[in-house]
Structure 1
Amino acid sequence: MRNILVLGGTRFFGKRLVERLLQDADTQVTILTRGITKDGFGGCVNRLNVDRTDAKALAEAVGDTVWDVVYDNICYSPDEAAAASRIFAETAKRYILTSSLSVYDPGPEVLREADFDPLSYPLRLGAKEDFNYQEGKRLAETVLLTQAAFPAAAVRFPIVLGTDDYTKRLHFHIEHVLEGKAIGVPNLGALISFIRSDEAANFLYGLGFSQLAGPVNACSDGTLAIGDILNIIGQKTGREAVVLSETADQDMSPFGIEESWYMDTAKARGAGFQFLKLAEWFPELVRELATELNASLRNRE
Structure 2
Amino acid sequence: MRSILVLGGTRFFGKRLVQRLLEDEDTQVTILTRGQTEDNFGERVIRLTADRSDAQALAAAVRGRHYDVVYDNICYSPDDAAAAARIFADTAGRYVLTSSLSVYDPSQQMLCEADFDPAHYPVTLGPKENFSYQEGKRLAEAILLNQTAFPAAAVRFPIVLGTDDYTRRLHFHIEHIMEGKPVGIPNPEALISFIRSDEAADFLYWVGFSPLTGPVNACSDGAMTIQEIISLIEAVTGVQAITPSRTEESDMSPFGITESWHMDTAKARTAGFVFLPLTGWLPELAASLHASLRDRQ
State the TM-score, normalized to the length of structure 1.
0.98
Task: Provide the residue aligned with 1:61 in structure 2.
Answer: 61
In the alignment, the residues of structure 2 paired with residue 42 and residue 35 of structure 1 have an alpha-carbon distance, to the nearest angstrom, of: 14
Q: Give 1:64 deviation, angstroms.
A: 2.2
Return 5+ residue gaps in structure 1 as ranges: none
Task: Provide the residue aligned with 2:21 in structure 1.
Answer: 21
Distance change in 2, residues 1:148/1:35 (3 Å): farther
2:183 is paired with a residue whose SS is strand
Task: Provide the residue aligned with 1:38 in structure 2.
Answer: 38
In the alignment, the residues of structure 2 paired with residue 41 and residue 181 of structure 1 have an alpha-carbon distance, to the nearest angstrom, of: 40
Task: Provide the residue aligned with 1:162 in structure 2.
Answer: 162
Task: Provide the residue aligned with 1:139 in structure 2.
Answer: 139
In the alignment, the residues of structure 2 paired with residue 218 and residue 64 of structure 1 have an alpha-carbon distance, to the nearest angstrom, of: 33
Task: Provide the residue aligned with 2:101 in structure 1.
Answer: 101
Task: Provide the residue aligned with 1:291 in structure 2.
Answer: 291
1:244 is paired with a residue whose SS is coil
Deviations 1:239-271 (A, max 9, x none): 111110110000000000000000000000111
1:9 is paired with a residue whose SS is coil
1:243 is paired with a residue whose SS is coil
In the alignment, the residues of structure 2 paired with residue 75 and residue 180 of structure 1 have an alpha-carbon distance, to the nearest angstrom, of: 38
CA contact (8 A) 1:190 1:257 kept: yes
2:118 is paired with a residue whose SS is coil
Task: Provide the residue aligned with 1:273 in structure 2.
Answer: 273
Q: Give 1:196 deviation, angstroms.
A: 0.1
In the alignment, the residues of structure 2 paired with residue 186 and residue 122 of structure 1 have an alpha-carbon distance, to the nearest angstrom, of: 32
Q: Give 1:90 deviation, angstroms.
A: 0.4
Return 5+ residue gaps in structure 2 as ranges: none
In the alignment, the residues of structure 1 paired with residue 223 and residue 153 of structure 2 have an alpha-carbon distance, to the nearest angstrom, of: 24
Give runs of aligned pairs for residues 165-180 of structure 1, distance below 5 A: 165-180=165-180
Query: Given the alignment of the two structures, is residue 82 of structure 1 paired with residue 82 of structure 2, yes or no?
Result: yes
Query: Given the alignment of the two structures, is residue 210 of structure 1 paired with residue 230 of structure 2, yes or no?
Result: no
In the alignment, the residues of structure 2 paired with residue 135 and residue 17 of structure 1 have an alpha-carbon distance, to the nearest angstrom, of: 26
Task: Provide the residue aligned with 2:255 in structure 1.
Answer: 255
Which stretches of structure 1, 4 residues or longer, exceed 4 Å deviation after superposition?
none
Deviations 1:105-142 (A, max 9, x none): 00111000000000011111111001010000000000
In the alignment, the residues of structure 2 paired with residue 243 and residue 123 of structure 1 have an alpha-carbon distance, to the nearest angstrom, of: 40
In the alignment, the residues of structure 1 paired with residue 87 and residue 60 of structure 2 have an alpha-carbon distance, to the nearest angstrom, of: 9
Identity of aligned residues (%): 69
2:200 is paired with a residue whose SS is helix
In the alignment, the residues of structure 2 paired with residue 129 and residue 195 of structure 1 have an alpha-carbon distance, to the nearest angstrom, of: 27
1:126 is paired with a residue whose SS is coil
Task: Provide the residue aligned with 1:52 in structure 2.
Answer: 52
RMSD, aligned CA: 0.6
1:47 is paired with a residue whose SS is strand
Q: Give 1:52 deviation, angstroms.
A: 1.2
